[in-house]
Amino acid sequence: MLEIRNLAKSFGGVKATNDVSLDFPDGSLTAVIGPNGAGKSTFFNLITGALSPDSGQVLLDGIDLAGRSPPEIVRHGIGRAFQVASIFKSLTVQETMLAAVSADQRSSAVLHKRFPLPETRDRAEHVMELLGLASKRHRTAATLSHGDQKLLDIALALVLKPKVLLLDEPTAGMGPEERWRMIDKVRELWETQKITVVFIEHDMDIVFKIAPKIVVLCYGRILAAGTPDEIRNNSAVIDAYLGTEHAGAAA
Amino acid sequence: MTELEAGRAQTLVPVRSGAVLQRYRDVLIALIAFAVLASLPLFTGSKALLDFVIRCSAYGLFATSLNLLVGYTGLTSFGHGMFFGLGAYSFGLIMQKLGVPIPVAFVATLAITAVFATIIGAICVRLKEIYFAFVTLAFQMLIHSTILSWASFTGGDQGLRGGIPRPVFLGIDLSNHVHLYVTSCALLILGLLAMRQIAQSPFGYTLRMIRDNAARASFLGIDVWRAKLTVFVLAALFASMGGMVMALFVSGAYPEFAYWTISGEGIFINMLGGVSTFLGPMVGTVLLLLLNDTVTRFTEYHGIVLGVVILFFALGLRKGLLDFVAEWFSHRHDAGKGR
């Protein structure tokens, strides 16, 4: 279980994450929503070690990971994908996967053998199949479509066999149809892989349709957390976010 | 020419199964290349040609090691020449002052280089792009001015004079021109083979990941700093090897070996030959030395000619020669498949 305890981070005078406490039980699927600048990405950055929190704890199965480096946190089982696909543009899909498995098996510093190591094959193959990238294995990452690059980014996180998978806007920059295909994929992964998934999403239709639990962030604080029905009827959320979404966008 | 063709083949074969086969193929190519080079003295009595190959060995080792940093890891070092100079001076000094057998001096020099590279690298590899370039350059200047000012030890601006003693070991007499030539070729081929292994190892792919996206690599659990430091030290060792070949060749060491222009020439060679293929720097080395030798024969303004050539490669081709050739072939290959 991933437990966040009183997590806080300020940039100058701005409290980007302000006393956030949340539980993500094993195997849960949670959506994080909130207006622009609500601190969603900062929240992810604090959990994964990209930023160091000012105070608070990030407990994964009871071990506090707050303030540790990204490589350490990854090794404890928190994987992430990025809002803008973060991939290795000159490597092929297959090389990317094999190299990531090498990193996870702590053989990324091996000098005396040839890449790829035989023991990395199965896992790389499995995840490529899972995300439908197997047919594009010899394509260089830079030449993939936007959607496939996002899938490759997720594949990179998934191939490390994380306990918790954090997806920062998996559907960012996609057309309506592509969005649904991506989110179906996310849901399918969650169901088949039995991992804890937390994702940031802007499309309310998607969020209310697939997420059993929703967390609403606003100005770095938790505005509300609960089931889609609870969130939909929460007056604070309607005031701050849902009801005035268009007014907010205009301003 | 065999090297050129080998480079082409390596870029075209997709990294698929048969990683082991690839290694055998590399060893085979290396053996053939060595056999061709080593048998050269049987066909020609030209001392100039053999000298040319020895210089290519020294510079080739140096330039290819720089490509491990620039091309594979994305670390553009402007001070890599310091390890070339360090290798030449350490080796020369050990031979002059201690009179140990050559292999002992060779290994000791590598050890000294490793210590220096670890300390300098630990400071530098944390820095980002331009800062890394400048701080490595600063260390290069530091070593160069140390050599100049510590005249009682290094000979100052006169360099290490009086020749480097070259006692016979294992029946190899490096004061014999042909022996020196074959040994240089052997060091070049062994060095290239070792660097090729590094480039194609799991660590080599870690380097490529760091070059493409270091932040993402760290989110895969890779210790980026440690990987960069490791490759910095490894590259320094091969540069030092190049410096030793040079010291043996001229039987001495001069402050110019540690001057920043050596680093500049290394970058120049990489731009000429290309950084996206393993043998690019080797091709660049041959090109630069050929240019140097022919142009200086015709004009004293050879700097202008070299400048024009590099502008042609940088602005015209926008890549090194071997990169260009490899790309052209893969285009043709793709077009062939499309039909």
DSSP B168-223: -BTTB-TTSHHHHHHHHHHHHHHHHHHHHHHHHSHHHHHHHHHHHHHHHHHTTT--
pLDDT (0 to 100) of residue A205? 84
Domain boundaries, position A198? 2-86+162-250
User: Distance (Å, rounded) from C-alpha B285 to C-alpha B64?
Assistant: 9
pLDDT (0 to 100) of residue B85? 94
Q: Lowest-pLDDT range, A29-43, B74-88, B290-304?
A: B290-304
CA A117, distance to chain mean position in Å, is 28
Closest B-chain CA to A80: B219
pLDDT (0 to 100) of residue B3? 43
Query: How confident is residue B21, by pLDDT bands cut at 50, 70 and 90?
Result: confident
Q: Report chain B residues touching chain A, CB-CB < 8 A.
A: 14-15, 19-20, 22-23, 197-198, 200-206, 208-209, 211-213, 215-223, 226-227, 230
Query: How confident is residue B6, by pLDDT bands cut at 50, 70 and 90?
Result: very low
Query: What is the nearest CA distance from A188 to chain B, expressed in angstroms?
Result: 23
Please say whether the beta carbons of A169 and A154 come within 8 A. Answer: no
Q: List the 57-116 stretch of A: residues with Cβ below 8 A of B.
A: 69-71, 74-75, 79-80, 82, 86-92, 94-95, 98-100, 102-104, 107-116
Residue A136 lies in a domain: no
pLDDT digits (tens, 9 = 90+) for A83-122: 888 999 999 999 999 999 999 988 889 988 888 888 888 8
User: Distance (Å, rounded) from C-alpha A131 to C-alpha A87?
Assistant: 15
User: Distance (Å, rounded) from C-alpha B339 to C-alpha A222?
Assistant: 59
Determine, for residues A95 and B221 on separate chains, whether the beta-carbon distance falls below 8 Å.
no
Please say whether the beta carbons of B220 and B212 come within 8 A. Answer: no
Residue B205 with chain A: CB contacts under 8 Å? 91, 95, 98-99, 102, 108, 115-116
Determine, for residues B227 and A109 on separate chains, whether the beta-carbon distance falls below 8 Å.
yes
Q: How many CB pairs lie under 8 A apart between chains A and B?
A: 113
pLDDT (0 to 100) of residue A243? 63
Neighbouring CB atoms inside 10 A of B29's CB total 22
Mean pLDDT by 10 residues, chain A (251 residues): 90 88 92 86 91 92 90 92 91 94 90 88 89 90 90 90 91 86 88 90 86 89 88 82 51 37
Residue A26 lies in a domain: yes
Which amino acid appears at position B82 of this protein? M
Query: What is the nearest CA distance from B320 to chain A, expressed in angstroms?
Result: 17
Determine, for residues A116 and B202 on separate chains, whether the beta-carbon distance falls below 8 Å.
yes
User: Distance (Å, rounded) from C-alpha A123 to C-alpha A126?
Assistant: 5
Determine, for residues B203 and A108 on separate chains, whether the beta-carbon distance falls below 8 Å.
yes
Residue A122 lies in a domain: no
Residue B274 lies in a domain: no
SS (H, E, C) A42-79: HHHHHHHCCCCCCEEEEEECCEECCCCCHHHHHHHCEE
User: Distance (Å, rounded) from C-alpha A150 to C-alpha A129?
Assistant: 15
pLDDT (0 to 100) of residue A175? 84
Determine, for residues B221 and A117 on separate chains, whether the beta-carbon distance falls below 8 Å.
no
pLDDT (0 to 100) of residue A244? 52
Q: In this structure, what CATH number is given to the domain that contains residue A177?
A: 3.40.50.300
- Report strand pairing: A78-81 vs A221-226: unpaired
Number of domain units in chain B: 1
| Arithmetic mean of pLDDT, B317-333 | 80
| Arithmetic mean of pLDDT, B177-190 | 93
Q: Residue B13: is its pLDDT beyond 80?
A: no
Residue B37 lies in a domain: yes
Please say whether the beta carbons of A87 and A70 come within 8 A. Answer: no
Residue B195 with chain A: CB contacts under 8 Å? none
pTM of the entire predicted model: 0.87
Q: Lowest-pLDDT range, A20-34, A61-75, B14-28, B175-189?
A: B14-28
pLDDT (0 to 100) of residue A132? 87
User: Distance (Å, rounded) from C-alpha B10 to C-alpha A161?
Assistant: 33
Residue of A90, A110, A156 lying closest to B202 (CB–CB)? A110
A201 touches chain B (CB under 8 A): no
pLDDT (0 to 100) of residue B10? 44
Query: What is the nearest CA distance from A62 to chain B, expressed in angstroms?
Result: 21
Beta-bridge partners for A214: A31, A226
pLDDT (0 to 100) of residue B17? 53
Determine, for residues A99 and B200 on separate chains, whether the beta-carbon distance falls below 8 Å.
no
Return the percentage of chain B with pLDDT > 90, whole number: 51
Number of domain units in chain A: 1
Residue of B201, B212, B223 lying closest to A114 (CB–CB)? B201
Residue B300 lies in a domain: no
Nearby residues of B257 by Cβ (< 8 Å), 6 or more positions away = B81, B84, B85, B88, B89, B243, B246, B247
pLDDT (0 to 100) of residue B177? 86
Residue B22 with chain A: CB contacts under 8 Å? 114
Query: How confident is residue B12, by pLDDT bands cut at 50, 70 and 90?
Result: very low
pLDDT (0 to 100) of residue B64? 95
Top residue of A69, A90, A98, A108 to mutate, by most chain B CBs within 10 Å, is: A108
Which amino acid appears at position A21 of this protein? S
User: Distance (Å, rounded) from C-alpha A137 to C-alpha B207?
Assistant: 20
Residue A118 lies in a domain: no
Residue A131 lies in a domain: no
Determine, for residues A108 and B206 on separate chains, whether the beta-carbon distance falls below 8 Å.
yes
| Arithmetic mean of pLDDT, B85-101 | 92
Please say whether the beta carbons of B115 and B108 come within 8 A. Answer: no
Neighbouring CB atoms inside 10 A of A13's CB total 5
Residue B252 lies in a domain: yes
| Segment holding A193, helix H or strand E | helix A176-193
Tokens of B273: 């030959």
Query: How confident is residue B258, by pLDDT bands cut at 50, 70 and 90?
Result: confident
Q: Residue B9: is its pLDDT beyond 60?
A: no
Residue B288 lies in a domain: no
Residue B160 lies in a domain: yes
Domain boundaries, position B163? 2-258
Return the percentage of chain B with pLDDT > 70, whole number: 93
Residue B84 lies in a domain: yes
Determine, for residues A115 and B209 on separate chains, whether the beta-carbon distance falls below 8 Å.
no
Query: How confident is residue B317, by pLDDT bands cut at 50, 70 and 90?
Result: confident
